[in-house]
Chains A and B, each alone.
Chain A
Amino acid sequence: MTALLGRHLLSVLIFLPLAGGALLLLFPKSAAGAAKAFALALSVLELALSLPLWMRFDPHMPGFQFAERLDWVPSLGISYSLGIDGISLVLILLTTVLTPVSLLFSLSHVSKSVRAFSFAFLALETGVIGTLCALDVALFYVFWEVMLVPMYFIIGIWGGSRRIYAAMKFFLFTMSGSLLMFLAILYVAGRHRALTGEWSFLLSDLLRVSFAPEVQTVLFLAFALAFAIKVPVFPLHTWLPDAHTEAPTAGSILLAGVLLKLGVYGYLRFALPLFPDAAMRYAPWVGLLGVIGVVYGALVAFPQKDMKRLVAYSSVSHLGLVVVGIAAWTSTALAGSVLQMVNHGLSTGALFLLVGVLYERRHTREIGAYGGIAGIVPVTTGLFLVATFSSIGLPGLNGFVGEFLILLGTWTSSHRWWSVVAATGVILSAVYMLTMVQRVFWNPLVHEENRSLPEIRPSELIAAAVLVVLMVWIGVRPNDVLERIRPSVDALQASVNARRVQAHAAVLPEPAGRRR
């Protein structure tokens, strides 16, 4: 057991939810409550297991940690190869935190096909953690796509009134990007084979291959498209408001909290290192789209009448900022971007959760249906305010640190004006978020039915409180997270820059002691 946890911790983390989820199907239909509790317990166990990851992670060790490797399709060099660095670490932790939070929230709110619901979430967790751990491109692709299926069901079965449209849009949109990436992966692996005579899909091997500039451009675009859709980068974002809005609350939490980050993660882990020249050549465009996303998302969020839709557009804006940070390619901005992904997961997760709290009581997400409820539900209001201020980057909370680092890092890059334009997001986010807060919680109470609005339940409160505590913690002690991110980001940057220098050498020399 200890060996399992010691040497195969990542595998355990990946497959525990799925395996446990499979047990759920053994529960009788009538034992819905027990099934929910079991799923929740499982996700908490997962969280507990992920804590050693956080403790034992050594930020100063180069390369990937907790590595595991097994042959999968040996004749093609496809392997089950896992490992994490600081970037994946924080995102894994984010996932293991948000999953129990979602399930905890759902404890009192989902009654339809409970077992399937819980299973879908656990399967999703497996997919996400797998995506974050995979170091083999084929393995990554498998997890990357597998994630879609549970999310599709989560939106489609337990979603709102336009759930089917939203689910289809989500699936097709995301799929459309990844299919081209799939071909690009095949090409890259084929090229490795052509140059070395050996098949491999291992990222570290593929990094040795370099491509002619035009080829690299095409491949980069194929990868970037897949990730850009997931992020989502303007103008590929329109699936997101629909998906977020229609998904059940818990689904929105994970969708916004975790899934979107995987686009950025994929870009950092694969697109950038594999195609450094193209990535750098197109960085100005990526950054431009990010900047547009920041402003555009914020502007479009403003007139929204649906709370979740508003929060969804705010995600477009926030992730635009993350993209800007990555395109800026300075150490500060990169660290800020990674941190900001975590921050966004927490704040947007909390916002969706609290919107869900209201929705479950009034069954409407219309901003206009509320108003003046701050006195009726003060605790909810307070939590919502904290989440709001985290989201709009109030210093002292987590959102600020990421935002500031990105903007500062971008300022010190060669694209100073991005920073200037993106910083207007600071103003705009305050405009739309506070407008919503005012119209939902403040103003005179006009709808009588809101007078009897019940206050947040303990289970929901705990779920939200966890997030709030984390927001404050990261806001006050961001270095706890940053010190794990920084070396990885710097290493990434160094390796990409090094590879750019060595461009056009057909195959890089192999280090001694390579496998086989």
Chain B
Amino acid sequence: MTSGLLQFGPEELAAITPEIILSAAGCLLILLEAFAPRSRSWFATISLAAVAGSLMMLLKAPAGASFGGRLETSTLTSLMGMFIGGTAAIAILVAKNYLRRTGEERGEFYALLLWGHVGVSLLTRGLDLLVIFVGLELLSLSFYVLAGIFRTIPASSEAGLKYFLTGAFGSAFTLYGIVFLFAKSGSVRLSALSQVGLAHDPLVIFGLLLLLVGFGFKMSVAPFHAWAPDVYQGMPTPAVTYLSVAPKGASILVLYRVFTAVFQGGLPDRFRLAVVALAILSMTLGNVVALAQRDIKRLLAYSGIAQMGYVLIALAAFGRDALAAVVVFFFAYLASNAGAFAAVAALFRDETKPHPIGLLAGEGRRSPFAAGVLALCLFSLAGIPATAGFIGKFFLFKAAVDRGLYALAIIGVVNSLVSIGYYLKIVYIMYMRDPIDDERPPRLPLSDGLALGLCGILIFALGIFPSKLWELARGAADSFPFFGP
């Protein structure tokens, strides 16, 4: 615990600049919206620049903990910054045309997205439960609003309500968990959690459980998943693009940080079993229910639930390799899941209606590029080799097998078999069914094309040359602070 008062020095400034850039860009957009609405067509560019600038500053920031050990700058945060920044960039690219098409191209959308991004960024960097909580709430509040931002569309408002109510409910549990961790360690700093004895304190375990629940909620892990399908369906697709990817990665990282702080050596058996149970439930429920979905956004929501089950495998495996696997997995997930939503945004042109899969019939020939990338993303999500998704799963399952979690790994692969069922369903509808009408699709806008292209390239790049990323992630995991010997 620091006793002296902290000074805001250049170190702190350098560390926080990324977040400042984002927040300021958000403010700028609000101001432009209010006073220079003609500049709207530049909003996406400004946002992209902010994300890029923020990422650049993050990469340049000196490594180490600042703000009295509350904010981390390290290889890991850089990697995560790239991950969430990438997600944000894709989301913004998707938003560009989507918003123009729906007539909602306004500064608030981008501003809220950027502010939410700040929250996620804090989640990935926070070494302090309070920072984490504030980050979580910043993220949540922004996305409550983004969920309901289409006030003219009932589904959007309903999504806002549902996300808000369940989110607030979940946050309350998270907060209650934080209370007990604070109570037992006497501080909100994660480093305080590594005191001897805490690992066996029931209250600490309880607090950790509540955090698991709260962040599990953000990751949409069953049984805390129920919001996801409804919210994804009603939420504007660009926002889902972000929400379905970046916060999940940040959340698992938070869990990893907190758990390693307390347990260091390894999870206690019961706790590990609990995580395993959640993983199995999540994979199974997600995959099985996804089979029955008819709306592609709901389907992707369930797919996400299942994918988070796989991620929990890595949490159960709990080790440096597993952590690195999580990082790699999320890069893959970024490419494939964000890419899938980007494709959905490009392929569905009427936002006031649901997104039934059947509408995709024949898109393989009508919109070859978007459909192709969607198919690629789905194959990647299904874990077919030479795509990023395979690499992600490769490392996850490797971590599980190395840790001896054979049953979990087997359940995992059986589940991914089930998942192929619905991923391929979309593919065959796109490629093997005739289109339902003769309407010629409009040209794919540049921004969408860019987003899709980036995802496609990333999927292959990562699928074929995973080595560099893995080594980076492994190095980052090596410097992860709390793992015991």
Chain A–chain B contact at Cβ < 8 A: yes
Cα–Cα distance between A172 and B431 once the two chains are bound (Å): 18
Contact, CB under 8 Å: A168 / B379:
no
Residue of A nearest to B391 (CB): A73
Known: A75-B467, A172-B421, A180-B410. A190 touches B416 (CB 8 A): no
Contact, CB under 8 Å: A172 / B409:
no
Contact, CB under 8 Å: B416 / A149:
no
- For residue B397, which residues in chain A have a CB less than 8 angstroms away from its CB? 182-183, 186
Which listed residue, B364, B384, B401, touches A145 by the CB 8 Å rule? B384
Cα–Cα distance between A180 and B397 once the two chains are bound (Å): 11
Contact, CB under 8 Å: A168 / B421:
yes
**At the interface, yes or no: B471 with Cβ under 8 Å from chain A?**
yes
Residue of B nearest to A71 (CB): B467
Residue of A nearest to B415 (CB): A179
**At the interface, yes or no: B162 with Cβ under 8 Å from chain A?**
no
Map CB proximity to B onto A148-178 as digits: 1 under 8 Å, 0 otherwise: 1100110011000001100110011001100
Known: A75-B471, A175-B420, A183-B397. A148 touches B428 (CB 8 A): no
| B399-430 with Cβ < 8 A to chain A | 401-402, 406, 409-410, 413-414, 416-417, 420-421, 424, 427-428
Cα–Cα distance between A172 and B384 once the two chains are bound (Å): 12
- For residue A76, which residues in chain B have a CB less than 8 angstroms away from its CB? 470
**At the interface, yes or no: A417 with Cβ under 8 Å from chain B?**
no
Chain A binding site: helix, strand, loop or mixed by DSSP? helix
**At the interface, yes or no: A146 with Cβ under 8 Å from chain B?**
yes
B135 to chain A, nearest CB (A): 32
A252 to chain B, nearest CB (A): 17
Known: A141-B385, A149-B379, A183-B409. A164 touches B432 (CB 8 A): yes
| B359-412 with Cβ < 8 A to chain A | 364-365, 379, 384-386, 390, 394, 397-398, 401-402, 406, 409-410
Map CB proximity to B onto A39-76 as digits: 1 under 8 Å, 0 otherwise: 00000000000000000000000000000000111111
| B456-485 with Cβ < 8 A to chain A | 466-467, 470-471, 474
Cα–Cα distance between A189 and B398 once the two chains are bound (Å): 9
Residue of B nearest to A172 (CB): B420
Contact, CB under 8 Å: B398 / A172:
no
**At the interface, yes or no: A27 with Cβ under 8 Å from chain B?**
no
Cα–Cα distance between A186 and B395 once the two chains are bound (Å): 9
| A361-414 with Cβ < 8 A to chain B | none
Contact, CB under 8 Å: A179 / B386:
no
Chain B binding site: helix, strand, loop or mixed by DSSP? helix
Known: A73-B470, A75-B470, A167-B432. A183 touches B417 (CB 8 A): no
- For residue B385, which residues in chain A have a CB less than 8 angstroms away from its CB? 141-146
Cα–Cα distance between A179 and B416 once the two chains are bound (Å): 9
Map CB proximity to A onto B157-189 as digits: 1 under 8 Å, 0 otherwise: 000000000000000000000000000000000
**At the interface, yes or no: A113 with Cβ under 8 Å from chain B?**
yes
Cα–Cα distance between A98 and B191 once the two chains are bound (Å): 64
Cα–Cα distance between A153 and B427 once the two chains are bound (Å): 9
Cα–Cα distance between A504 and B45 once the two chains are bound (Å): 64
Residue of B385, B398, B421 with most chain A CB atoms under a 10 A cut-off? B385
Q: Give the number of residues in A that approach B within 8 Å (Cβ atoms).
A: 36
A189 to chain B, nearest CB (A): 8
Cα–Cα distance between A167 and B409 once the two chains are bound (Å): 26
Cα–Cα distance between A138 and B397 once the two chains are bound (Å): 13
Contact, CB under 8 Å: B384 / A148:
yes
- For residue A180, which residues in chain B have a CB less than 8 angstroms away from its CB? 410, 413
Which listed residue, A157, A175, A183, A189, touches B431 by the CB 8 Å rule? A157
A223 to chain B, nearest CB (A): 14
- For residue A285, which residues in chain B have a CB less than 8 angstroms away from its CB? none
B84 to chain A, nearest CB (A): 25
Cα–Cα distance between A384 and B474 once the two chains are bound (Å): 59
A154 to chain B, nearest CB (A): 11
Residue of A nearest to B416 (CB): A179
Cα–Cα distance between A171 and B422 once the two chains are bound (Å): 12
- For residue A176, which residues in chain B have a CB less than 8 angstroms away from its CB? 417
A243 to chain B, nearest CB (A): 14
B331 to chain A, nearest CB (A): 15
- For residue A145, which residues in chain B have a CB less than 8 angstroms away from its CB? 384-386, 390
Which listed residue, B379, B417, B432, touches A179 by the CB 8 Å rule? B417
- For residue A175, which residues in chain B have a CB less than 8 angstroms away from its CB? 417, 420
Known: A152-B424, A164-B432. A182 touches B471 (CB 8 A): no
Cα–Cα distance between A75 and B474 once the two chains are bound (Å): 9
- For residue B431, which residues in chain A have a CB less than 8 angstroms away from its CB? 153, 156-157
| B231-254 with Cβ < 8 A to chain A | none
Residue of A nearest to B425 (CB): A168
Known: A75-B471, A75-B474. A168 touches B414 (CB 8 A): no
A129 to chain B, nearest CB (A): 15
Which listed residue, A73, A141, A152, A182, touches B413 by the CB 8 Å rule? A182
Known: A157-B432, A167-B432, A171-B424. A186 touches B398 (CB 8 A): yes
Cα–Cα distance between A253 and B79 once the two chains are bound (Å): 47
Residue of B nearest to A76 (CB): B470
| A76-132 with Cβ < 8 A to chain B | 76, 113
- For residue B406, which residues in chain A have a CB less than 8 angstroms away from its CB? 183, 187
- For residue A138, which residues in chain B have a CB less than 8 angstroms away from its CB? 394
- For residue A73, which residues in chain B have a CB less than 8 angstroms away from its CB? 466-467, 470
- For residue B410, which residues in chain A have a CB less than 8 angstroms away from its CB? 180, 183
Residue of A nearest to B376 (CB): A149
Contact, CB under 8 Å: A179 / B470:
no
Contact, CB under 8 Å: B402 / A167:
no
Cα–Cα distance between A148 and B385 once the two chains are bound (Å): 10
B268 to chain A, nearest CB (A): 24
Residue of B nearest to A177 (CB): B417
A382 to chain B, nearest CB (A): 36
- For residue B432, which residues in chain A have a CB less than 8 angstroms away from its CB? 156-157, 163-164, 167
Cα–Cα distance between A168 and B291 once the two chains are bound (Å): 14
- For residue B421, which residues in chain A have a CB less than 8 angstroms away from its CB? 168, 172
Residue of A nearest to B403 (CB): A190
B389 to chain A, nearest CB (A): 11
Known: A156-B431, A172-B421, A175-B417. A186 touches B386 (CB 8 A): no
- For residue B414, which residues in chain A have a CB less than 8 angstroms away from its CB? 179
B324 to chain A, nearest CB (A): 10
Contact, CB under 8 Å: A190 / B402:
yes
- For residue A71, which residues in chain B have a CB less than 8 angstroms away from its CB? 467
Cα–Cα distance between A252 and B397 once the two chains are bound (Å): 34
Known: A73-B470, A74-B467. A183 touches B384 (CB 8 A): no
Cα–Cα distance between A142 and B379 once the two chains are bound (Å): 13
Contact, CB under 8 Å: A168 / B384:
no
Cα–Cα distance between A175 and B423 once the two chains are bound (Å): 13
Cα–Cα distance between A182 and B417 once the two chains are bound (Å): 12
- For residue B413, which residues in chain A have a CB less than 8 angstroms away from its CB? 179-180, 182-183
Residue of B379, B390, B416, B432 with most chain A CB atoms under a 10 A cut-off? B432
- For residue A186, which residues in chain B have a CB less than 8 angstroms away from its CB? 394, 397-398, 401-402, 409
Residue of B nearest to A182 (CB): B413
Which listed residue, B386, B390, B428, B466, touches A168 by the CB 8 Å rule? B428
| A330-373 with Cβ < 8 A to chain B | none
B466 to chain A, nearest CB (A): 6
A191 to chain B, nearest CB (A): 10
Residue of A71, A145, A172, A182 with most chain B CB atoms under a 10 A cut-off? A182
Q: List 5 A-B contacts (CB under 8 A).
A: A76-B470, A145-B386, A156-B431, A171-B420, A183-B410
Hey, which bits of chain B sit against chain A, CB under 8 A? 364-365, 379, 384-386, 390, 394, 397-398, 401-402, 406, 409-410, 413-414, 416-417, 420-421, 424, 427-428, 431-432, 466-467, 470-471, 474
Can you list the 8 inter-chain pairs with the closest CB atoms, starting with the nearest?
A179-B413, A142-B385, A145-B385, A186-B401, A73-B467, A156-B432, A186-B398, A190-B402
Hey, which bits of chain A sit against chain B, CB under 8 A? 71-76, 113, 138, 141-146, 148-149, 152-153, 156-157, 163-164, 167-168, 171-172, 175-176, 179-180, 182-183, 186-187, 189-190
Given contacts A142-B390, A183-B397, A183-B413, list 6 more A-B pairs with CB under 8 A: A73-B467, A75-B470, A172-B417, A179-B414, A187-B401, A190-B401
